[in-house]
Amino acid sequence: VDTCQEVVSHCIRSETFGRNHFHENDFLGEGEPKSARCDDLESLKKRQCGVDNIENPRGSVVVNRNNPVTIRKKDVAEKLKPEQITQIQPQKLTLTLRSGEPQTFELKFKRAEDYPIDLYYLMDLSFSMKDDLENVKNLGTDLMREMQEITSDFRIGFGSFVEKTVMPYISTTPARLINPCTGNQNCTSPFSYKNVLKLTNKGDEFNRLVSQQQISGNLDSPEGGFDAIMQVAVCEEQIGWRNVTRLLVFSTDAGFHFAGDGKLGGIVLPNDGKCHLENNMYTMSHYYDYPSIAHLVQKLSDHNIQTIFAVTEEFQPVYKELKNLIPKSAVGTLSSNSSNVIKLIIDAYNSLSSEVILENGRLPEGVSISYKSVCKNGVVGTGENGRKCSNISIGDEVSFQISIESTSCPANNKPEVITIKPLGFNEEVEVVLNFICDCECAANGEPNSEECDEGNGTFECGACKCNDGRIGRTCECSKDEVRTEDLDANCRKDNGTDICSNNGDCVCGTCECKKRENPAEIYSGKYCECDNFNCDRSNNQLCGGHGRCECRKCVCDANYTGSACDCSLENSTCLAKNGQICNGRGTCECGICKCTNLKFQGPTCEICPTCPGVCTEHKDCVQCRAFNAGEKKDTCEEDCNYFQLIKVNDRDKLPQPTDQSFPLTHCKERDANDCWFYYTYAIRNETKEVYVVEILECPAGPDIIPIVVGVVAGIVLIGLALLLIWKLLMIIHDRREFAKFEKEKMNAKWDTGENPIYKSAVTTVVNPKYEGK
């Protein structure tokens, strides 16, 4: 890096600045470029750069104008002018920004009581609004009276609109141009927009002029209201807007035309967003297309106008979608004859004025802004919600924490100005942005310094900034006098082919190593052959996390060794529970046990899945020495002399684990006669000790009589139980059979017909002589 500007830019991207005023050349290592003087603060300190030689400028916030918010009462005799009222604090600040370091300041907002209001009533005068016009004729005085409850300084104006005066929006026949209505209706000629009354505090004048208005007509259903809104917004002088709260009431019972619809009438020029009122009439409706919604949003915001859409129920969905696109706007439902317009306006005003939304002007490239709001009752908002506070009453104070951050320097390195303002209000905060793009030490540079090869450069910030035509760390080379081939030869290691090991640039016969994206990774060495990031790794860490990488080799910390510093010289990790290294069954290598007995495993060679337990292992020897019994009875002297035996006469006298400072195991084993014996096994000072209870616990013989009596009694009881069960089952079976018989008996039916082969035994003979007397 040859120029100070490049060095400083790099410092800024690193979020720090480094300066070294040593005249010796021992600060920069071999192969390090001049830009290596710029680094983070801790790195510079580690490299023995003294605190006095480090330049580390910081950003700042300076409040230039900080007038307190106005506390104003309606009943006070003295009335302030609008420009004397302050609702936002502070009003001007100067921020000094350093790349990557945000600067934060607090902005307060407080709604002033009795704040002046300008209200312009813009009404659709197409034929469908005829009955609405009758109710609006007395709006001036009625609205003035109601608004006195809110402000003592209120002005009202009136304007009307219909449609563009070209086909197919209106009929252009001569008769229809004079009276666009059918039948006997008396209508005025169609027009685009007319400013009937500029803003005034005379309510009776409003009533008089509105009473003189006549309904007009057009052909299609959507109206040309966007043309009218644009003119109301941009024609400040003709409308009479003051720098106070500006309200625009848009009253209609129809939809709207927007940009592109003008093509139907052969109008293709986009709306220019300028004022075209002559004699209070919009004269360019036939020349310019309707404005777009985005264009309207921009102009309404630029002129601090809050819009109230007073529309009928039928078009509520359309205008609610439009409201979502226009900040600081509201939608109210207009009755069919506009009888509720005053209540609608007051409700909408209260809704709009209870919300404050901050917006900022265009930000310079590389500058970002963020908001955090602290609203009523301590409600905190961040992100997009950090721009606004709701439900603010008169006298309530809210605050915003605003952070501005720069990520780069502007191309011209000149101060920038941005504005922050609450939507719908005329006040704004001016923020001047200054950028730290250079080290202060650069201003104190020494031109033609002896430090730079006898005057061939400027010595600034501890390094040489070479004059034109000179190169090198101390400007010792001339571009015209030295051939590149000769210089490159000095940058090849061992006469190889790679210049600066392909990791740097050859400048005046000296290698200046490249910088990597990660500032912690550095190339170094006379030929840039070294680096601090290509050493061996362990556990995915450079030098195992226990050393530093120097020229591609690990320099290990104390108590570590190995090519990747992964071998610990500490043996504390190898200690088993019994205090022995690897449980006496292995060796400790690099802090890890290598078990020599293959039966044992685990981090300290204490786990033996195939081994018997300690108690089982020593059972036979304890039994033979204490009781002269067991499998090793005959070889006891030879096999079981490895421990010291101590006999006790009671289990309570055995050593307890809590009483010992060495591992102790309690054992309970059974001999061939089913007798239990108890002992403990411990290793103390490499001496194996066994404490054994000298009295065996043998089970007593069984009592035969109770067993026989019990068996006999059990057999008898089981027999009785079986008899009872059998008897119970038989009773249940008999009852079921009897019930079945009774049921079949009840259901039996006998045939009552005569037997065809039956002959009666009685024969009746009639006397032929009998006459019945």
Q: What is the C-alpha to C-alpha distance for residues 535 and 547, in angstroms, rounded to an integer?
A: 10
AA identity, residue 246: R
Q: What is the C-alpha to C-alpha distance for residues 191 and 218, in angstroms, rounded to an integer?
A: 9
Q: Which two tokens stand for residue 503?
A: 């990791």
In contact, 259 and 292? CB cutoff 8 Å: yes
Q: What is the C-alpha to C-alpha distance for residues 312 and 332, in angstroms, rounded to an integer?
A: 8
In the DSSP assignment, the letter for residue 221 is S
In contact, 128 and 254? CB cutoff 8 Å: yes
In contact, 399 and 365? CB cutoff 8 Å: no
Which parts of the chain have pLDDT scores under 70?
Answer: 1-35, 72-78, 337, 481-483, 609-612, 658-663, 686, 701, 749-753, 771-773
Q: What is the C-alpha to C-alpha distance for residues 508 and 31, in angstroms, rounded to an integer?
A: 12
- pLDDT given at position 612: 66
Q: What is the C-alpha to C-alpha distance for residues 728 and 767, in angstroms, rounded to an integer?
A: 74
The answer to whether the Cα torsion of 606, 610, 614, 620 is positive or negative is negative
Q: What is the C-alpha to C-alpha distance for residues 304 and 423, in angstroms, rounded to an integer?
A: 6
In contact, 660 and 579? CB cutoff 8 Å: no
- pLDDT given at position 651: 85
- pLDDT given at position 752: 60
Q: What is the C-alpha to C-alpha distance for residues 351 and 424, in angstroms, rounded to an integer?
A: 13
Beta strands in 304-396 (DSSP E): 305-311, 329-333, 356-360, 367-374, 380-382, 388-389
pTM of the complete model: 0.57
pLDDT digits (tens, 9 = 90+) for 131-177: 788 778 778 788 888 888 888 889 999 999 999 888 888 888 887 88
Q: What is the end-to-end Cα distance of the chain in Å, rounded?
A: 169
In the DSSP assignment, the letter for residue 69 is P
- pLDDT given at position 318: 93
- pLDDT given at position 75: 59
* Domain annotation for the chain: domains and CATH numbers: 1-57+439-481 (2.10.25.10), 61-113+357-436 (2.60.40.1510), 125-353 (3.40.50.410), 537-568 (2.10.25.10), 570-611 (2.10.25.10), 615-693 (4.10.1240.30)
In contact, 66 and 89? CB cutoff 8 Å: yes
695: left (phi over 0), alpha (psi -120 to 50) or beta: beta
- pLDDT given at position 18: 35
**581, burial (CB in 10 Å: exposed 0-12, middle 13-18, buried 19+):** middle
Angle among Cα 337, 341, 346 to the nearest 5 degrees reads 170
- pLDDT given at position 264: 87
Beta strands in 201-287 (DSSP E): 245-252, 277-278, 281-282
Half-sphere exposure of 592 (CA within 13 A, CB side): 7
Q: At 608, is the secondary structure helix, strand, or coil?
A: coil
In the block, tokens 């059918």 appear at 182
Find the length of the chain: 773
- pLDDT given at position 4: 33
- pLDDT given at position 23: 32
